[in-house]
Structure 1
Amino acid sequence: MTIKISKTATKEELAAQLRQLKPAKKLDVSKYAGKVRWGQDALDYQRELRDE
């Protein structure tokens, strides 16, 4: 979000505009952390992709 602040804005006006900002959403990184469970060995998968 963008806030336009004039050069003549007082500290009170600036503080009021900052209070109106919505807090950013927190990202739940534990949702994405961990290992990917494959049904096959990683090396076999690479060989299959590369046609080796």
Structure 2
Amino acid sequence: MVTVIKKGMREKEINSLLIKHGNKKKKKIDLKKYCGIIQLKEDPIKLQKELRDEWE
């Protein structure tokens, strides 16, 4: 989200903009539902190293 603060705006106007945009709550994500979804056949660390080495 972008808040535009124009040159010459008063402090009260700026504060009201910041308060208006700052009160929105972020959605919470339940990451536990993804735990154990991927079934790997090899060691995750070894797989990660192989994937990183592809770029070299």
Answer 1 or 2: which has greater helix percent.
2
TM-score, with normalisation over the residues of structure 1? 0.46
After TM superposition, the score normalised by the length of structure 2 is 0.44
Larger radius of gyration: 1
